[in-house]
Amino acid sequence: MDIADKKSTLWHQKSLEEQASRLETQSSLSQTSDMIARVLVIYTGGTIGMINKDGAYVPEAKCLVTKLRSLSIFHDEDFVLGHLSPENQKIFLALPAPMDDGSKLVKEKRRIVYKVIEFEPLLDSSNMTGNDWIKIAECIQKHYDKYDGFVVLHGTDTMAYTASALSFMCEHLGKPIILTGSQIPIFEVRSDGRDNFLSSLIIAGTYPIPEVLLCFNEKVYRGNRCVKSDNSSFSAFSSPNMPPLVRLEIDIFVDWPAVFYTGETEKFRIHTNMCQNVGILRLFPGITAQTVRAFMQPPMQGIILQTYGAGNAPTNRADLLDVLEEACKWGVLIVNITQCSRGNVNAAYATGVALQKAGVILGGDMTTEAALAKLSYVLGKGDWSMEKRKKMLGQNLRGEMTTVAQETLSFMDHDLIESVAQTLHLSTHEEVNKLKDALFPNLMCAAAKNSDIPALEKLIEAGSHLSAPNQDGRTALHVACHSGDLRLVQFLLNNGASVHVRDYRGDSPLIDAIHAKNLDIIYLLVQTGAVIPWSKSAIALHLCSAAALNDLNTIKAWHAAGADLNSFDYDYRTALHVAVTSNRKDVAEFLMKNGAHCNLQDVFGLTALTIAQKLGYTELLSILNPDGHLCVEPIENLLSCNHTSSL
């Protein structure tokens, strides 16, 4: 069969109309994908998705997505039909076009496209267990690299427990995870669910807050700071010891200096070994030592002790203190938190000191939910010694407890900003903050361009957010990666800069590092969790171009970043096809050593091996086929995995 016949055969395996439609859809998507934010919605159950049957709210499987598609505020059918492939049209929903929400962080408004994964069976949150937390965490891990953020629809009764647990289970988190629900189902005429869900989708898709959050009634809280405080109000949740991170008013206000960053250069992972042998013991006047002793018997490994006031217990009860001290010596970890709705535990009173001397660990201002989740997490770390577990319980791991930091004065804050404010005749605090929002991102990028770490440190002290983009959507990390300054990149990552922020072209800092061909920075970004934000076909175009130009360093950079060297372009040509056609021996040898296949057919039915044979490139033949065995793999075997949209 000649080349023309092979081409005809391949193209007619599907109708010409289907091929044209698929390519047109891909092209349309690629032109707009930079402006698309992808959110995964995990629907576990709860009131928000229930329907009314015979006067009672009940969950119904496979109902939520169908109803969401019928509501214009949750789904823009025209956009989906015009920009997504037929397969993705069945899977994804899209919010209407975004309006200016007042954000000074997100300069380019991205269209929110989201997918809903539904639990089977749907759960009332009162039935939630540790296994369900693991199921949620594993779902997030499975889809982590494909989405910009995650929304968990959850019943309100145990939402604070789940939010606290996920905050510890999700280690090195770099993207927002938002739990939300409602007091009235979303499909009722009057419901708080619509605003809660819409706000969660918008925050998850456009604001790079690397925390587990809880969104309810126009506020977004740190998840492990929340408690359910009202079962009959739309203000069902409160955060007793910490203000909201986000206020959803006419404008959206994010308290960026309060956002918690781990400052670690490691990939996202989940920890699922949560210890179940933990419990909550609340002191009350007259509690007996026998009751406390019975509660602390094996297999109990950890206890949250809810004490009076600022962490006090009766000092005139030697029997009670003896039991607590005895349990600590057994190896039971006891964490002291207050019964009060607000405030923290300290050793200001003799009664609190007595508990500390007995071996009880101060829990600061943690909520009961956060303390229980943290204790379960720490005890689940099988490779940690007892001393390290005690130390970790007293440290702030996920922003769950307040730490007192020494206040510092900043030249950038008090001199530069105030001088500019006076020059512009700005008087109100809100106007000065708007000036900061406009100036700080550009100052950060300028400092990064000059590798000026002291200036960056001053900007951080002044409250500047490291991941705040300038008018082009670029952050200090973009600039540092482009310049190839490894020390500066390490500094930014250690101070919480996000590897996931995309500029106006849709490029992440990893793309800048690839263009700079700096392998050390690429390895560091990948180690921190960065992934290439482009489709395989877009990557293939760059690989093929580099192969044609004999630019081996660029190909090495793409490979280090995790690019699939077998990605192919619109003619199903891989970089190896191009390298062989152009007789680029070094490029071909590198590609072959790193997993490239020489037996993939392009649209003309040619493989890299047959091209080398036809052109008589004997050196390339020895590289491609050292054993002389000829094997041809039809291109259709890889169609499904290569030609997928960026969704």
Catalytic residues: 47
If phi over 0 gives left and psi between -120 and 50 gives alpha, with beta otherwise, what is residue 219?
beta
Tell the residue number behind the tokens 């690629």, with chain if given: 30
Q: Is 138 helix (H, G, I), strand (E, B) or coil?
A: helix
Tell the residue number behind the tokens 């997490």, with chain if given: 377
SS3 of 28-46: HHHHHHHHEEEEEEEEEEC
Of 457, 412, 407, 408, nearest to 435 by C-alpha is: 412
Concatenating the DSSP letter of every residue in 38-75 gives EEEEEEEESGGG-EEETTEEE--TT-HHHHHHT-TTT-
What Cα–Cα distance (Å) separates residue 168 from each residue in 148, 276, 373? 20, 15, 7
Q: From CA 320, how far away is CA 305, in angstroms rounded?
A: 13
Planar angle of CA 10, 16, 21, nearest 5 degrees? 115
Question: Are the C-beta atoms of residues 601 and 586 closer than 8 Å to each other?
Answer: no
Structural tokens at position 131: 């296994």
Residues with Cβ within 8 Å of 549's Cβ and at least 6 positions away in sequence, in order, are: none
Tell the residue number behind the tokens 């039935």, with chain if given: 127
Q: What is the CA radius of gyration of the chain?
A: 28
Residues with Cβ within 8 Å of 74's Cβ and at least 6 positions away in sequence, in order, are: 68, 93, 95, 197, 198
Helix axes 509-516, 552-560, angle to 10 degrees: 150
Task: Give the count of alpha carbons within 13 A of 299, CB side only.
Answer: 4
Concatenating the DSSP letter of every residue in 268-320 gives -EE-------EEEEE--TT--HHHHHHHT-TT--EEEEEEBTTTB--TT-HHH
Planar angle of CA 235, 237, 239, nearest 5 degrees? 120
Of 540, 647, 645, nearest to 23 by C-alpha is: 645
Of 40, 399, 402, nearest to 221 by C-alpha is: 399
Question: Are the C-beta atoms of residues 565 and 574 closer than 8 Å to each other?
Answer: yes
Cis peptide before 299 (omega within 30 of 0): yes
Structural tokens at position 89: 């049209």
Tally the residues of the chain. Answer: 647
Q: From CA 351, how far away is CA 280, in angstroms rounded?
A: 20
Q: From CA 186, how far away is CA 49, in angstroms rounded?
A: 6
Q: What own/partner pairs with CB < 8 Å and gap ≥ 24 does 586-593 have?
A: 586/550, 586/552, 587/546, 587/547, 587/550, 587/552, 587/555, 588/620, 588/623, 588/624, 589/623, 590/552, 590/555, 590/556, 591/547, 591/555, 591/565, 592/623, 592/624
